[in-house]
C-alpha cells in the first residue's frame, strides 16, 4: 500500500518536472528578495542622509525668511507677501495668520520623521528666540493655508505654483510665531518631492522587473527540465509495461550519461528476468514430464500389494503427490498468461461468468454498473473465477459488486459463509494452506486459488484485498487501475 505524503510534502508537485521547476522559481525568488533587501537597505541609508541634508538646507532657508520678516515693520509684511505672490521668485508659499493653522499630517513615515526632526532642530538653532515652531508634512488636498480655514485648492494657481505638481507630493509646512498673534506660514516642497518612494522595498517598476525575470526563468526552465526528465518517463513506462508482462522495445541509449547507464542496467535486468521466467517454465514442464512416469510406476506397484489397507494408503499418498504436482504446474500457467491488455466491459464479462455459475445450480447475484477496465481477459477471468469458486464452495451464495473508487476499479466477490478468523487472514495467500472449514467444504482443493488471483492482480498493477464482510461472510476485492479515470468514489 502506498503511503501518502505528510505535512508540507503534500503541497509539492508530484512530478519531477513540477518539482524542478518549483525549485528553480523558488531559487530565483529568494535571490531576488535577498538582492532587493540588500539594495533597499543601502538605498534607505543613502536616502536618510540625502533627506537630512535637504531638510537642513530648507531649515536654514526658512530661518532666513523668518529673520527677514522680523526685520520688517508689521504693517509692511502683508505688502511683501502680496508682492511675492504676484512676482514669484521664492521657493516658499508665505502667509501671515493670527494663530497657528491646524495641519493634517501624512502620518508616521521614517524619512518624513527624519526630515521634520532635522527642520525643527535647524529652526530652533537658527532662531533661538522663537521657540514656538510647528512643522508637518501635509498632502496638498488636505492643506489649509489660512487660519480662516481656506484650503490650497481655493487659491489661484499663480500663488501656489511652488507647492503644486501634476503628481501630488507631500508639502513641508513650517509655522513660526514671530510675536504674539503673528504667525508666519511657510509651505514648500522637498528638493526631491517624491523622496518617500526611495525608502520603499517594492515599487511597481521593481515588481514588474521581477515578474518578467520569473517569467523568463519559467519559460526557459520548463523545456529544459522536460527534456531532462523525458528519458525518466520513458524508463517508468518501460518498467510498468514490463511489470505487466508487455513486450516493449529496448530503451534508446541517448541522453545524459546517468540515464544511458540506467537504461543499460534496466535492459540487462529485463533480459535476466526474462531468462529466469523462461527457465522456470521449462523447468516446470520438465518436472511435469519427468514425474509422470515415476508416479505411474508407483501406481502400478501399489496395485501389486496384497494388503488392501496398505494399498489404499499408497494410492492416497500417490494421488496427493500427483495433485500437488498438477497444482504447482497450474499455478505457473495461470500466473504467466501472455496476453495483450484490452478494454473489457465488465457487465457482459461478469454476466457470462454469473450465468455459468447459475446454470450449475449456484446462487450468484450481480448488478450492472456500465464500468470498463483495461486488463488481460483470460487472466482476469481466471482471477475472478478463483474468487467466485471459493465463494461458492465456502458460502451459501455469492455476490459480485463493481464500483469505481478514485483511480481504481474494485471488483468485490462476497460469500455468506462463516468467514475467516482475523488472525488467519495473512496466511490465506500461502500455497497449500487451507483452513479447517475449507477442508470440510472442499476436500479436493489445494489452497492455490487466492495466490494465483493475487499474482494476476499484481501483474495488472493492482492488488487483492481480503476481509470479513459486515453482517457475516467473507469478501475478496480485486483492485485494478482505472485507466479512463471514470467514476467517483463509492
- Say yes or no to pLDDT of 88 above 80: no
- State the pLDDT at residue 200: 64
Closest CA to 157 of 170, 169, 140: 140
Contact (Cβ atoms closer than 8 angstroms) between residue 230 and residue 17: no
- Say yes or no to pLDDT of 120 above 90: yes
CATH 1.10.287 residue window(s) in the chain: 257-333
Contact (Cβ atoms closer than 8 angstroms) between residue 400 and residue 366: yes
CATH 3.30.565.10 residue window(s) in the chain: 339-481
Exposed / middle / buried, residue 402 (Cβ in 10 Å: 0-12, 13-18, 19+): buried
Residues of the chain above pLDDT 70, percent: 84
pLDDT of 471-481, one tens digit each? 888 899 999 99
- State the pLDDT at residue 38: 82
Alpha helices in 71-174 (DSSP H): 77-87, 110-126
**Quick check: pTM over 0.85?**
no
Spatial separation of the C-alpha atoms in residues 34 and 341, rounded to whole Å: 54
Q: Mean pLDDT over all residues of the chain? A: 81
Closest CA to 453 of 379, 401, 398: 379
pLDDT of 295-353, one tens digit each? 787 878 788 787 888 888 887 778 777 766 666 666 555 555 566 788 999 999 999 99
Spatial separation of the C-alpha atoms in residues 117 and 366, rounded to whole Å: 88
- Say yes or no to pLDDT of 386 above 60: yes
Compare 399 and 420 and report the one with higher pLDDT: 399
Q: Which of the residue ranges 167-171, 272-276, 280-284 would you say has the lowest mean pLDDT?
A: 280-284
Compare 115 and 280 and report the one with higher pLDDT: 115
Spatial separation of the C-alpha atoms in residues 471 and 469, rounded to whole Å: 6
Cβ neighbours around 137 below 10 Å, total: 22
Compare 449 and 122 and report the one with higher pLDDT: 122
Residues of the chain above pLDDT 90, percent: 27
Name the β-bridge partners of 372: 345
- Say yes or no to pLDDT of 258 above 80: no
In this structure, which topology does domain 339-481 adopt according to CATH? Heat Shock Protein 90 (3.30.565)
- State the pLDDT at residue 302: 80
In this structure, which topology does domain 257-333 adopt according to CATH? Helix Hairpins (1.10.287)
- State the pLDDT at residue 401: 93
- Say yes or no to pLDDT of 197 above 90: no
Buried b (16+ CB within 10 A) or exposed e, 69-78: bbeeeeeebe
Mean pLDDT of 194-217: 76
Mean pLDDT of 343-365: 91
One DSSP character per residue, 168-204 reads --PEEEEEEEEETTEEEEEEEE-SSTTGGGGG-S--H
| Distinct helix (H) and strand (E) counts, the chain | 10, 11
- Say yes or no to pLDDT of 490 above 50: no
Amino acid at each position: 500500500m502506498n503511503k501518502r505524503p505528510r505535512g508540507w510534502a503534500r503541497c509539492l508537485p508530484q512530478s519531477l518536472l513540477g518539482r524542478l521547476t518549483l525549485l528553480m522559481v523558488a531559487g530565483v525568488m529568494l535571490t531576488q528578495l535577498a538582492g532587493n533587501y540588500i539594495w533597499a537597505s543601502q538605498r534607505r541609508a543613502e536616502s536618510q542622509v540625502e533627506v537630512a541634508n535637504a531638510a537642513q538646507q530648507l531649515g536654514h532657508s526658512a530661518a532666513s525668511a523668518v529673520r527677514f520678516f522680523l526685520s520688517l515693520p508689521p504693517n509692511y509684511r502683508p505688502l511683501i507677501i502680496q508682492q511675492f505672490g504676484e512676482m514669484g521668485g521664492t521657493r516658499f508659499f508665505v502667509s501671515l495668520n493670527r494663530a497657528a493653522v491646524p495641519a493634517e499630517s501624512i502620518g508616521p513615515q521614517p524619512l518624513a520623521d527624519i526630515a521634520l526632526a532635522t527642520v525643527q532642530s535647524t529652526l530652533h538653532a537658527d532662531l533661538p528666540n522663537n521657540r514656538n515652531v510647528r512643522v508637518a508634512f501635509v498632502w496638498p488636498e488636505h492643506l489649509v493655508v489660512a487660519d480662516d480655514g481656506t484650503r490650497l485648492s481655493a487659491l489661484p494657481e499663480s500663488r501656489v505654483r511652488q507647492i503644486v505638481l501634476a503628481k501630488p507630493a507631500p508639502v513641508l509646512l513650517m509655522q513660526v510665531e514671530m510675536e504674539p498673534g503673528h504667525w508666519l506660514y511657510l509651505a514648500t516642497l522637498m528638493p526631491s518631492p517624491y523622496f518617500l518612494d526611495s525608502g520603499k522595498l517594492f515599487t511597481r517598476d521593481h515588481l514588474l522587473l521581477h515578474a518578467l525575470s520569473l517569467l523568463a526563468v519559467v519559460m526557459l526552465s520548463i523545456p529544459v527540465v522536460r527534456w531532462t526528465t523525458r528519458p525518466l518517463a520513458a524508463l517508468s513506462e518501460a518498467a510498468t509495461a514490463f511489470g505487466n508482462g508487455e513486450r516493449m522495445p529496448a530503451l534508446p541509449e541517448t541522453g545524459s550519461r546517468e540515464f544511458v547507464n540506467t537504461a543499460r542496467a534496466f535492459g540487462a535486468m529485463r533480459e535476466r528476468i526474462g531468462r529466469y521466467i523462461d527457465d522456470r517454465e521449462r523447468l516446470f514442464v520438465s518436472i511435469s514430464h519427468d514425474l509422470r512416469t515415476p508416479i505411474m510406476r508407483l501406481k502400478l506397484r501399489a496395485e501389486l500389494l496384497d494388503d488392501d489397507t496398505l494399498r489404499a494408503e499408497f494410492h492416497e499418498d500417490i494421488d496427493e503427490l500427483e495433485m500437488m504436482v498438477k497444482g504447482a504446474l497450474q499455478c505457473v500457467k495461470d500466473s504467466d498468461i501472455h496476453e495483450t491488455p484490452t478494454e473489457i466491459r465488465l457487465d457482459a464479462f461478469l454476466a457470462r461468468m454469473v450465468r455459468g455459475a447459475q446454470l450449475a445450480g449456484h446462487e450468484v447475484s450481480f448488478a450492472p454498473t456500465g464500468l470498463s477496465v483495461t486488463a488481460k481477459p483470460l487472466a482476469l477471468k481466471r482471477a475472478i473465477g478463483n474468487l467466485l469458486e471459493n465463494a461458492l464452495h465456502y458460502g451459501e451464495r455469492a455476490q459480485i459488486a463493481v464500483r469505481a473508487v478514485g483511480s481504481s476499479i474494485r471488483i468485490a466477490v462476497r460469500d455468506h459463509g462463516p468467514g475467516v478468523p482475523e488472525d488467519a487472514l495473512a496466511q490465506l495467500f500461502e500455497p497449500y494452506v487451507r483452513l479447517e472449514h475449507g477442508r470440510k467444504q472442499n476436500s479436493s482443493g489445494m489452497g492455490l486459488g487466492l495466490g494465483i488471483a493475487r499474482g494476476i492482480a499484481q501483474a495488472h498493477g493492482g492488488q487483492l484485498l481480503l476481509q470479513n464482510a459486515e453482517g457475516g461472510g467473507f469478501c475478496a476485492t480485486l483492485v485494478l487501475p482505472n485507466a479512463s479515470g471514470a467514476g467517483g468514489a463509492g
